[in-house]
Amino acid sequence: MKKFLGSSAGLCLLLTGLTLTAPAASAQDQAAAMAPPPKVLQIVVESLKPGQSGSPHIKTESAFVQAFKSANWPTHYFGMDALTGPSRAIFFVAYDSFEAWQKDIEATAKNASLSAALDSAAVADGPLLNSLETSAYVLRDDLSLRAPVPADHFHYIEVSLFRIRPGHGKDWEDLVKMYIAAYQKIPNAHWATFEKMYGTESGSRYIAVTPMKSLAEVDQEMLNDKAFASTVSEEDRRKMRELTAATIESVESSLFAVNPKMSYPLDTWVKADSTFWNAQ
């Protein structure tokens, strides 16, 4: 992906990650099966010790899943294994607001059996980890494009982290909106942008998240370059290059495979993609 930085389409390819095509269905069925992005996204990153990914980590994480299932807990999440970069597992927990997050924390503390099960699972999981970090992001709907996606498109996730130079927040917004305007002309292109609000290096940090059903969609992404270039004038491409150079300190893109055994998905997701989520 990095080879596209500096080209007229570079930032957009990193932003969108992939172009997804919704499965053929009626408009009503598609609406019911769409998964909108959360307003508040809690991200938990577990850095794993060598040799502890795969079966050892799945075993300890399944204890967390079972605890939430036994409690019929209303807050859901999904876990992912890194396909690129350091060995790590990432967990996305969705909330409608920070108040909803607070209520979840308080309800968990009041549920003695759930708290005990989670404590026990954490003790077993701890020896497998080098570190654990939690961050909070908020949805930037104004910097997103067609963010809701079909509920069966959660097999893989691309996450691109953008570090923005201090004092260039407005330039960043202007740059992304230029790409949104161009990509609105390309059917099915989409992404959800989140701004980091709490955690290490919070402030001037953004992530673009794109779920996908198959890694074949990464190949399709590469074909979007020509389509994108045809929608943007030479003058706009020049402005994009200048804003990119002035605004973005660095970009890091990673691919993750969603792991059903480390996830506690919504019932609507399971219904839309039962073969995947019920895999043993």
Average pLDDT over residues 36-61: 96
Between CA 216 and CA 256 the distance in angstroms is 14
Residue 3 has pLDDT above 60, yes or no: no
pLDDT of residue 260: 97
What global pTM score does this model have? 0.87
pLDDT band at 187 (very low <50, low <70, confident <90, very high): confident
Residue 12 has pLDDT above 90, yes or no: no
Residue 72 Ramachandran class (φ > 0 left, ψ -120 to 50 alpha, else beta): left
Look at residues 156, 183, 150 and name the one whose alpha carbon lies nearest to residue 22: 150
Which residue did the predictor score with more confidence, 84 or 222?
Answer: 84
Query: CA 212: distance to chain centroid?
Result: 10
pLDDT band at 33 (very low <50, low <70, confident <90, very high): confident
Structure tokens at 12: 């957009």
Domains with residue ranges and CATH for the chain? 2-37+138-255 (3.30.70.100), 40-136 (3.30.70.100)
